[in-house]
Amino acid sequence: MQDEKTMDKLAEDKTTVNELAGDKIIKNELTGSELTESKITECELTGDEIIRYENAGISFGGKEVISDFSLCVLRGEKILLRGKSGIGKSTLFKMLLGFEKPSEGTLYYKGKPVNAQVAWEVRREVSYVSQDMDLGEGPVKNLLDEIFSYRPNREKRNPERLNSLMKEFELDQDILIKNFENLSGGEKQRIGILIALMLERDVFLLDEVTSALDSELKKKVVDHFLKHKNWTLFIISHDREWERDGVEIVEIGKDSLS
């Protein structure tokens, strides 16, 4: 009972997402579409297991959104999750992060059932980037200063790394003095990606992070993530740029072929 109350509090908290990747608010909405088939991957309890969904499901307002979903993500794997918009893909990330509680089944992180304590561990160790970046208002530099003022992030502050990533992803230096709320969707996405990379983690939850980028920038972002063989990537995207060798595609939904 105590743990359930703690999970309720954890689900309501939004400030900790700053420590994750700078994303203060998760905005993806669900349509209530039912997930009728799931991709079941064999998952042995080894030291290589990072994320595991075991018959997980969730309902909103009495309507089932996801049901009997099972999937294992091992260390170093690149998993691309695809399905129709509104089917509940983003909710799978939210459950892992502790922002939503599954109605059925169990989630595991590194072999441990996700409860309030483990959800905090996920937030400390995993970089999450969503398609709807909302860091707040004001100059980008101030927002970066805030994110890297948090105790877990202080030692990650690296101006040289920042400049290198800005150059790689075609962000001019003057973007630092622009108000974040006035940036384009593509600029916001690149700032979110930049922050996630500067946190120096090796597990990433990437939710449509290239949706607002042009083809050249999509390629640069995908190239950067996929060149790191030791990184674990759990990706939600409709962009075919992610369909590369070494990336396993998992289809969910009524039309799934899995």
Task: Say how many Å lie between the first and final Cα of the chain, rounded.
Answer: 37
Tell me which DSSP letter residue 137 carries. S
The residues near 149 (Cβ < 8 Å, ≥ 6 apart) are none
Q: In the CATH scheme, what architecture does the domain 2-251 have?
A: 3-Layer(aba) Sandwich (3.40)
Average pLDDT for the chain: 84
d(CA 107, CA 71): 10
Higher pLDDT, 34 or 12: 12
pTM of this prediction exceeds 0.75: yes
Q: In sequence order, what E strands does the chain have? A: 49-60, 63-74, 78-82, 104-109, 112-113, 127-129, 203-207, 232-236, 247-251
Average pLDDT (195-207) is: 97
Between helix 116-125 and helix 2-12 the angle, nearest 10°, is 40
Q: Over the Cα atoms of the chain, what is R_g?
A: 18
Longest dimension (CA), the chain: 51
- 78-136 residue pLDDT tens: 999 999 888 889 999 999 999 999 999 999 999 999 999 999 999 999 999 998 778 88
- Taking Cα atoms as reference points, which of 250, 247, 258, 249 lies closest to residue 76? 247
Classified as helix, coil or strand, 44 is coil
At 7, is the pLDDT very low, low, confident or very high (cuts 50, 70, 90)?
A: low
- Residue 61: the pLDDT is 81
Of 23-27, 49-53, 75-79, 82-86, the least confident: 23-27
Report yes or no: 52 and 105 within 8 Å, Cβ to Cβ.
no
